[in-house]
Amino acid sequence: MGSESITFGSSAILIKDIVQPSDVGDFPYIGLEHIEESELRLSSYGNAKDVQSAKFRFNKGDILFGKLRPYFRKVIKAPFDGICSTDIWVVRAKNGIDQGYLYYWMASDSFIEYATRGSEGTRMPRAKWEHVSRYTQTRLSLPEQRAIAHILGSLDDKIELNRQMNRTLEAMAQAVFKSWFVDFDPVHAKAEGRDTGLPAEIADLFPDSFMDSELGEIPKGWRIQAISDLADIVGGSTPRTTELNYWQDGVHSWATPKDLSTLSVPLLLETERRITDAGLAQISSGLLPVGTVLLSSRAPIGYLAIAEIPVAINQGFIAMKPKKDISNLFVLFWTAFAHDDILSRANGSTFLEISKTNFRPISLVAPPSMIIRAFDQRVREMYNRIVDNERESRTLVALRDTLLPKLISGELRVLGVGNYLKEVV
């Protein structure tokens, strides 16, 4: 006797609780722009008071599925009560189907592909509920559904834990930079006869007074320098896309600002596209070394990352290769804190762009190299932990997305997961 099948329509109900934002008060609002593409993650959210027109109400635990351009795989499990765009389906399980299992069913590539095939509209295709309701797959027992949701959910929990840890570590490193190089806390403390809170060997590196400069009062003995004194500033370009031998079977990572747009932490581990040796030869800056600081220079200005891979870049970047004794973490955080200054030097009629010519002379307060070195030593371990966590998260995402279709379809049974993991890990 063959396995019993079920349809999506018999397993899920579409919730259409229509509300006006003005009627719900200070409610969280989720639009498609708040859901990350393919990541099964909510990147941010808005507020009901800032939106207009009818929305759908959802409850914590509901499945939110972006029906506009479903191939973007914008699927999340609602982490709170709120309202959402009407281009998002609010879905709940029914007829003995586990909600967690249904969530991963809707996140599977086969469901996304099925929804995409039945979409209506050329410019803005939208998935049709009537179409996805006919999607069929093997019925699994409720205990097995729950076990699948637990396995995949545990991977997602670890991924999210890593992300939260990385946000904390990044904030800690930023706080050290701000204290030392923006607020000059150790110098103020010594000037006022207070304890700096730093180990003696680090505190001794800081002066105990200030001096006047073109940028205002700065620590005595520090200098005003241009960013180009601390780092070599280069740009990139795009090899002709019609020239196949520049792109086909490419081996070198080639970055565009889009590669930085979805990063949860400022480090680049991979790029969407690769170029060949012939393509690389078309880019004057060549292959930039690991440790290069990348800043998107247009549309928009401000995406930041340290390249953890050798990478070539397109014309949408300013790349900073720190000079001897200059920490790339110092350059990274300086760039983040100097965002407004950088933006003020941008120009352009179609979109703002900061040119290398306008970027190179931007002034900064440069401490002695010993203090930069001490800063690097203090925050490098935090950064290395961020890199390790991000690499682990990417491995876990790949594992989740490999297991997901096999478990949901019944191809891999729960009892076989352990053996499968031994084969792939």
Residues 313-323: tens digit of each pLDDT: 999 999 999 99
What SS3 class is residue 159? Answer: helix
What pLDDT does residue 415 have?
Answer: 72
Does residue 359 sit within a domain? yes
Tell whether 248 is covered by a domain.
Answer: yes
DSSP 238-261: ---TT-GGGTTT--EEEE-HHHHH
pLDDT at 421 over 80: no
Q: Mention every residue, 6+ apart, whose C-beta is less than 8 A from residue 147.
A: 414
Percent of the chain with pLDDT over 90: 92
* pLDDT tens sequence across 368-391: 999 999 999 999 999 999 999 999
- pLDDT of the residue at 416: 64
Alpha-helical segments (H) within 108-197: 109-117, 129-132, 142-177, 185-191
The answer on pLDDT for 215 being more than 60 is yes
Q: How confident is the model at residue 408 (pLDDT cuts 50, 70, 90)?
A: very high
Q: pLDDT at residue 245 above 60?
A: yes
| Residues 125 and 227 placed together within one structural domain of the fold | no
Q: Are 325 and 228 in the same domain?
A: yes
**What is the pLDDT at residue 423?**
56
Same domain, 250 and 129: no
**What pLDDT does 410 receive?**
86
CATH number at residue 263: 3.90.220.20
The phi and psi torsions of 129 (rounded to 5 degrees) equal: -60, -40
Q: Which of 120, 139, 158 is the last residue of a domain?
A: 139
Query: Do the domain assignments include residue 405?
Result: no
Structural domain boundaries, residue 269:
223-366
Residue 425's pLDDT is 45
User: Do both 227 and 360 map to the same domain?
Assistant: yes
Model confidence over 122-153: pLDDT tens digits?
Answer: 899 999 999 999 999 999 999 999 999 999 99
The answer to whether position 305 is within a domain reads yes
Task: Please indicate, yes or no, if residue 193 is contained in any of the structural domains.
Answer: no
Per-residue confidence band for 420, with pLDDT thresholds at 50, 70 and 90: low
| Alpha-carbon gap, residue 311 to 254, rounded angstroms | 6
| Boundary-marking domain end, from 139, 160, 184 | 139
pLDDT at res. 1: 40
Say whether both 23 and 117 belong to one domain.
Answer: yes
Q: Answer whether residue 45 is part of any domain.
A: yes
Q: For residues 131 and 24, state if they share a domain.
A: yes
Q: Are residues 254 and 356 in the same domain?
A: yes
Task: Evaluate whether residue 357 is within a structural domain.
Answer: yes
pTM of this prediction?
A: 0.88
Distances (CA, A) of 82 to 41, 59, 99, 221, 272: 16, 7, 18, 54, 34
Whole-number Å distance between alpha carbons of 209 and 192 = 9
Residue 53 amino acid letter: S
The answer, yes or no, to whether residue 246 has pLDDT greater than 50, is yes
Domain count, the chain: 2
pLDDT of residue 419: 61
- Asked which of 59-73, 192-206, 339-353 is least confident by mean pLDDT, the reply is 339-353
pLDDT band at 418 (very low <50, low <70, confident <90, very high): low
Same domain, 126 and 228: no
Q: Which tokens in the block code for residue 70?
A: 């479903």
Residue 2 reports pLDDT greater than 70: no
- Mean pLDDT, the chain, whole residue set: 95
Last residue of a domain, one of 139, 164, 189: 139
Mean pLDDT of the region 213-226? 97
> How is the chain split among helix, strand and coil, in percent rounded to 5?
40, 20, 35
Residue 203 included in any domain: no
Same domain flag for 235 and 118: no
The pLDDT, as a whole number, for residue 349 is: 79
pLDDT of residue 240 exceeding 90, the answer is: yes
